[in-house]
Amino acid sequence: MPTPKPSKSAQQKPAQAEGAAALTADLVTWFRKEGKDYPWRRTHDPYAVLVSEIMLQQTQIATVLDRGFYARWMEKFPNFQTLAAASESEVLGAWQGLGYYRRARNLHKLAQVIVSDHGGLFPRDPEVIRSLPGIGPYTAGAISSFAFGLAEPIVDGNIARVLSRLDNDATPVDSTPGIKRLWDRAKELVQATEDPRALNSALMELGQTICKPAKPVCDACPVHHHCLADEPETLPVKGARPEITEVTERVFFLRTGQGILLEQETGSRRTGLWKLPALPEEFSVKPPSVLLKTTYGITRYKVTLWVHEVPGKPTQTWPESHRLIPLDELSALPMPSPYRRALERLLASSGEFRLE
């Protein structure tokens, strides 16, 4: 990746020289006129803000909104009390389709802590917020500023890009010095405004809509006169990406008059979710015929999923984690999306219904 030219930043200090107050004022003015009307921006309810932030951690806004995940969740679990009282199965079922189910489990556990230790009221103190289970620096800052209007910084991928370009800073954003610099800069800016809620929203939205990774729309940028980047598309600089690890998963498909055999995961990141049963180890050398092959990615893994015919002669005895699920109950079960898609394809080939 080319190194940005240092010409502007060599002549003056980073955009701080323009004045944090002037920069934040321009951002807030722009956001108040152009900011998007998301449902979680219409409320200062810390629970609603928390749900949106957890959902958006690894899921696009369009997916959360257009496919109704946020609205359905808020209807089913409108507050900490209803979420805390739900079973894990209910929670995972409501999260189905968003993936990264650890987020749902953490949200469920946090709701139980809020109810048991805080009387159902989310704390306002940033230090207490940061001490809550499953709450990292970004989420703590988001709730503090969006729900309570406190001058707490946030840094996500969009904000890291915006700040790196504003200051023409080529420090790798995923390095220890780079992370510290970004949080220090974000703190300086949020403490320079009278509206932390709007300022943090503005920084995020600027990165989403104008200061995009490729082809930033600099002419439309409300703070382009503050920006020191000579070649904005070369920023931010990131360290080397981890190599992709290839993984193979082999499962089998068994359907009887009672339903489809599924296995409930235990002891893994998918604990509590249902999937096609793993192919027994003794059949891995010479596996049965393949019914379906597909691939999917998760974090740094590329997974090849092989679905085989039933190995050997079907038995009537299965481990406790296995269960024959009637077709009309499949839709209600929490299931990883790759397995749901594979099952849909297998059923579609025999003219069956789609799993909604």
Within a domain: residue 52?
A: yes
pLDDT (tens, 9 = 90+) of the chain, 356 residues, equals: 444 444 444 444 444 545 899 999 999 999 999 999 999 999 999 999 999 999 999 899 999 999 999 999 999 999 999 999 999 999 999 999 898 899 999 999 999 999 999 999 999 999 999 999 999 999 999 999 999 999 999 999 999 999 999 999 999 999 999 999 999 999 999 999 999 999 999 999 999 999 999 999 999 999 999 999 999 999 999 988 889 999 999 999 999 889 999 999 988 788 899 999 999 988 888 899 999 999 999 888 999 999 999 987 766 678 899 999 999 999 889 999 999 999 999 998 765 544 54
| Active-site pick, 18, 34, 53, 205 | 53
43 and 167 in a single domain? The answer is yes
Q: Is 48 domain-assigned?
A: yes
Pair 326, 252 in one domain: yes
212 and 138 both lie in a single domain: yes
Number of continuous H segments (helices) and E segments (strands) in the chain: 14, 7
Q: What is the CATH number of the domain that holds 269?
A: 3.90.79.10
Does any domain span residue 86?
yes
* pLDDT confidence of residue 342: 95
Q: Into how many domains does the chain fold? A: 2
* Residue-level pLDDT at 353: 45
C-alpha span between 210 and 204 (Å, rounded): 10
- Judge contact between 102 and 114, C-beta under 8 A: no
Do 259 and 211 sit in the same domain of this protein? no
Predicted pLDDT at 16: 52
The DSSP secondary-structure symbol of 233 reads G
Return the pLDDT at 3.
47
3-state secondary structure of 328: helix
Note down the domain range covering 101. Answer: 12-234
Claim to verify: residue 216 and residue 258 sit in the same structural domain:
no
CA distances from 290 to 64, 305, 306, 315 (A): 35, 10, 7, 20
- What confidence score (pLDDT) does residue 5 get? 43
Question: Is residue 240 assigned to a domain?
Answer: no
What does the H/E/C string look like for the chain? CCCCCCHHHHHCCCHHHHCHHHHHHHHHHHHHHHCCCCHHHCCCCHHHHHHHHHHHCCCCHHHHHHCCHHHHHHHHCCCHHHHHHCCHHHHHHHHCCCCCCHHHHHHHHHHHHHHHHHCCCCCCCHHHHHHCCCCCHHHHHHHHHHCCCCCCCCCCHHHHHHHHHHCCCCCCCCCHHHHHHHHHHHHHHHCCCCCHHHHHHHHHHHHHHCCCCCCCCHHHCCCHHHCCCCCHHHCCCCCCCCCCEEEEEEEECCEECCEEEEEECCCCCCCCCEECCECCHHHCCCCCCEEEEEEEEECCEEEEEEEECCCCCCCCCCCCCEEEECHHHHHHCCCCHHHHHHHHHHHHCCCCCCCC
Q: 61 and 195 share a domain?
A: yes
The pLDDT value recorded for residue 12 is: 45
Distance between first and last Cα of the chain: 44
Q: Is 233 a catalytic residue?
A: no
What are the structure tokens assigned to 133, written together? Answer: 């289970």
Backbone angles phi, psi at 295, to 5 degrees: -130, 155
